[in-house]
Each structure stands twice: as structure tokens, then as C-alpha cells.
Structure 1
Amino acid sequence: MPIRSDAQKRWVELEFLVPGTPEQVWHAIATGPGISAWFAPTTVDERAGGKVEFTFGEGVTSSGTITAWEPPTRLVYEEHGWSENAPPLASEFVIASRSGDRCVVRLVHSLFSTSDSWDDEIEGFESGWPGFFQILRLYLRHFAGQNAAAARALRAAPGTHAEVWKQLATALGVHGPNLGERRSAPAGAPPLTGTIEHVQQDDETCEVLLRLEQPAQGIALLGSYRWENKARVAVSLFFYGDRAADIAAELEPRWRAWLEARFPASAEQKANA
């Protein structure tokens, strides 16, 4: 949707349909264990005035204060200092029940500024959510309420976005993906077998979403994206069940080492290190 504005703020709205009752969806988007199961490791002090904190890896965190806590229908939190010199940012989630144990979730990101100088960031919020919404849908459909743990690996990669995606997809056995196909990573890559559930490929982002069988039951988001006129690769793995934490802890360093070997630093990156 286009960016909207009034005399106080600029904002963007998104809506998405997910399976589950309002109570199940609320747990997934408004509690620490729920958000951690499909987005990023998160802690939530579940009350108005409480703190919500996200951990994105590589020392990057973001935190906010809950300004509206109305289970199981509405959550609002406000972040200050989320980017250098940035105005406050409010995020509002509203859950509306639909027939057949489904819910519509409306998300509004509001930036308290009348200047268009932050529009790129607002558009980035809008483009960044769809892949995680797909993970949320799979989580609610297949793994809702289970113990969860995530493993992540990120890597800056030399070359164009298209070149980097082709390298990553080929190395992990997901090049030329079709929905519903079962794919496995070839020898030399960490273990990865699953069914393709979602594909996105455009000038900014290329992603494949797998519902995993191996190395354990879970979800994998494999992708590359533009980053400061360069390219980055990202692997996000979500595991569920009693052994989820052990599996994630074992595999995260393995994936980081594999990405480092597959995408070695360029001479420029080494010089700036």
C-alpha cells in the first residue's frame, strides 16, 4: 500500500490472513515465546507500559514500550532510537476473527514525522514483512504452541544480487523452485530437506521458504537481498519440539561457517575489517 500521511505522522498498512483462533494468533504476535517462534528472539513484558525487545543477531537489538495491551485483539508498541536520529515509530497489530478458525491481522507502522526523508525506511518495513508472515502462517498451521528455537546466519557477499542468489540457491538445492516440490541440499551443505511453501524473486529480495523434514521438523527461510548497494545472504531456521533449542545451538555455528566458506570476503571487505 502507498505511504499515507497527516499533520502528525506518516504510515503504511498491511493486512494478512492467518489460521488460528484469536487467542492462538495473539500468543504468536504478542508474547515473547510466540514472536520468537517465527520472527526474532523476543522478550515481552506483557502489560501496558511493559517493554518489548527484539534481538536480530550480530549485536543488533531494538526495543520499545507497550502503549496498548488489549488481549486478544490489539497490541501497540512504540520504539525510540530504532535508527540514528530517527523519529519515534509505533507498530500496531489488530486481530479480527474470521470463520473457519482464521484471523485477519492488520499491521500499521506509523512514523511520527511529517518529512518524507524517512520514506525509504517505511517502505522497507512494508517489503520486509511478507516473508515472515509466511513463516507465521506455517507456524500457526503446523507448530502452534510448541517449543521453538531459531538458528540464523548472515553474510555479506561480493557480486550482484542476482549472482549471489544463483550461487546460494544452487549450493542449497533450491534453484528454479516450484511450490510443493521436495528439495534436499546436496553434499557439502548442512543437512536440509523440505517442501517448498513460498517463493519470492524480485530486484530487491529472493527467498525460498521450506517446511522442513531434516535436520528436524521446522521452517527454513533461505534468501538474498540488496543491502547498501551490495548483496547479503541470510539463512533463518526455526525448529520446533522438545529438542528445538539443542538442534538450533548445534546448527547455527555450522551454518555460519558454511556461509563464510561459500562467500569469502572480498579484498575490499578484508581491507575494511
Structure 2
Amino acid sequence: MPIKSDAKRRWVELEFIVPGTPEQVWRAIATGPGISAWFAPTTADERVGGKLEFTFGEGAASSGTITAWEPPSRLEYEEHGWSEGAPPLATEFVVSSRSGGTCLVRLVHSLFTTKDSWDNEIEGFESGWPGFFQVLRLYLRHFADQRAAAARALSAYPGAHAEAWKQLATALGVSGPNLGERRSAPAGAPPLVGTVEHVEQSDHTCEVLLRLEQPAPGVALLGSYPWEDKARVAVSVFFYGDRAAETAAELEPRWRAWLEARFPANAAQKANA
């Protein structure tokens, strides 16, 4: 969607439909355990003036102050210092009930600046959310309110993200995916068996979403995207149920070692030295 602007800010809006009651959707998008189940490890002090803290791995983190808390319909928080020299960033979620046991979620990202020098970052916010929204849909449809934990791995690739995706997809047995297909990772990769639920290929991202049978019930988001003058490859595997934390803790080191062996971070650094 195009970037909008007025005399105080520049912003983008996204809307998406998810299954569930407003109360279920609210718990998923406005509480620490809920956000952690489909996006990033998060803690939340659930009140106006409370803190939201996100952990993205590899030392990356962000925090914001809750400026609106209206269960089960509206959450807004504001982040300062999220990037060096950046203007304040406000994020708003609005939940509206729809027919058929679904809800409409409206997301608005606003930068409090009139300058267009931050538009690339705004567009990056817009392109980064859809894959996680697909995880959210599956979580609400199949695993709502269950315990959750995630195994994550991230590395760089010194070339185009489409080429990075080709290598990742081949190595994980998800090349040329079709919706509804059952796919299995080949020998040598961490265990991964599931059904293809979503496929995205564009200039901004290439990704496949699997609803997992093995190694445990969950969702795997596998993808690549441009990053500065390189590409990044990312694996996020969300596990649900009573043993989610144990499964994630066991498999995250395996995923990180596997990804680093195929996409060494130092190779990308050398290529750009």
C-alpha cells in the first residue's frame, strides 16, 4: 500500500482477516505470550504506560511504551531510538469482529516526521509483516491459547535474495511448493515434516509456511529477503503444546548450526569487505 502523509507524520496501513473471537485475537496481538506465539519473544506490562519489549535474536531488541490499551479492540505503543537518528515510531492494532467467527485486524505504522528519507524503513515494515500474519492465522486456527516457544536461526548471503532462497528451499525440500502438499526436509537437515499452507515470492521476500507434524505440532516460516546490499535467510519454527519450550530449546542450536554451515556469516562479510 502507498505511504500516506500529513503535516505531522508518514504512515502505512495493513488489514487482514484472522479466525477467532475478539478476545482470542486480542490475547494473540496484545500480550507477551500471545505475541511470542507468532512473532518474536515478547514481554508486556499490560496497561497504558507499560512496556512492550521484543527480542529478535543476535542481540537485536526493541521496546516501546503502551499509549493505548483498550481490550479487546485497540492497542497502541510508541518506540523511541529503534534506529539511530530515527523519529518516534507508533504502532496501532485495531480489532473488529466480523461474521463467521473471524476478526478484521488493522495495523498502522506511523513515523512522526514529514521527511521522506525514512520511507525505505516504512516500506520494510509493510513487507515484513505479512509472513508473520500468516503464522498468526494458523496459530489462531489450530493452536490458540496453547503454550508456545520458537526456534530461530538467521544468516546472511552475499548475493540476491532469490538465489539465497533457491539454495535454502532446495536444502530443506520445499522447492516448487504447492498449497496442500506434504513436504519433508531431507537427511542432514533438522527434522521438518508438514503441509504447505502459504507461499510468497516477490522482490521483497520469498517464503514458505508449513503447518508441522514433526518434530512437534507447530508452524515453520522459511524465507529470504533483501538486506542492505546482501540477502538474509531466516528460519522461524514455532512449537505449541506442553512441551513447546523443551522442543524449541533442543532444536534451536541445531537450526543455527545447520544454517551457518550452509550460509556462513563470515562469507558474506568477506564478500563485502
TM-score by length of 2: 0.97
Cα deviation, 1:176-196, whole Å, max 9, x if unaligned, reads 000000000011111000000
Which 4+ stretches in 1 moved above 6 angstroms?
none
For structure 1, the 5+ residue unaligned runs are none
Cα deviation, 1:61-83, whole Å, max 9, x if unaligned, reads 10000000000000000000011
| CA distance in structure 2 between the aligned counterparts of 1:233 and 1:19, rounded to whole angstroms | 29
Preserved contact between residue 158 and residue 266 of structure 1 (Cα < 8 Å):
no
Quickly say closer, same or farther: Cα 1:267–1:225, change in 2 above 3 A: closer
Aligned twin of 1:79: 79
Cα deviation, 1:24-46, whole Å, max 9, x if unaligned, reads 00000000000000000000000
SS in 2 for 1:175: coil
| CA distance in structure 2 between the aligned counterparts of 1:224 and 1:272, rounded to whole angstroms | 18
| CA distance in structure 1 between the aligned counterparts of 2:186 and 2:47, rounded to whole angstroms | 47
SS in 2 for 1:39: coil
Cα deviation, 1:180-217, whole Å, max 9, x if unaligned, reads 00000011111000000000011221100000001100
Aligned twin of 1:238: 238
SS in 2 for 1:221: strand
| CA distance in structure 1 between the aligned counterparts of 2:153 and 2:268, rounded to whole angstroms | 21
Aligned twin of 2:58: 58
TM-score by length of 1: 0.97
| CA distance in structure 2 between the aligned counterparts of 1:179 and 1:87, rounded to whole angstroms | 40
201-210 vs 143-152, greater mean Cα deviation: 201-210
203-212 vs 28-37, greater mean Cα deviation: 203-212
**Deviation for aligned residue 1:99:** 1.2
**Deviation for aligned residue 1:264:** 2.9
| CA distance in structure 2 between the aligned counterparts of 1:61 and 1:87, rounded to whole angstroms | 17
Cα deviation, 1:70-115, whole Å, max 9, x if unaligned, reads 0000000000001100000100100000112110000011110011
| CA distance in structure 1 between the aligned counterparts of 2:7 and 2:202, rounded to whole angstroms | 34
Aligned twin of 2:189: 189
SS in 1 for 2:207: strand
Aligned twin of 1:18: 18
Aligned twin of 1:178: 178
Aligned twin of 2:211: 211
SS in 1 for 2:216: coil
| CA distance in structure 2 between the aligned counterparts of 1:180 and 1:271, rounded to whole angstroms | 38
Aligned twin of 1:220: 220
Cα deviation, 1:145-190, whole Å, max 9, x if unaligned, reads 0000011000112333222111110110000000000000011111
Aligned length: 273
SS in 2 for 1:178: coil
**Deviation for aligned residue 1:268:** 6.1
| C-alpha RMSD over aligned residues | 1.4
SS in 2 for 1:252: helix
How many percent of aligned residue pairs carry the same amino acid? 84
Cα deviation, 1:218-266, whole Å, max 9, x if unaligned, reads 0000011111111111000000000000000000000000011112345
| CA distance in structure 2 between the aligned counterparts of 1:152 and 1:105, rounded to whole angstroms | 26
State the AA in 2 paired with 1:200. E
Aligned twin of 2:229: 229
Question: Does residue 143 in structure 1 map to residue 143 in structure 2?
Answer: yes
Aligned twin of 1:35: 35
State the AA in 1 paired with 2:215. P
Question: Does residue 201 in structure 1 map to residue 201 in structure 2?
Answer: yes
For structure 2, the 5+ residue unaligned runs are none
SS in 1 for 2:63: strand
| CA distance in structure 2 between the aligned counterparts of 1:90 and 1:228, rounded to whole angstroms | 24
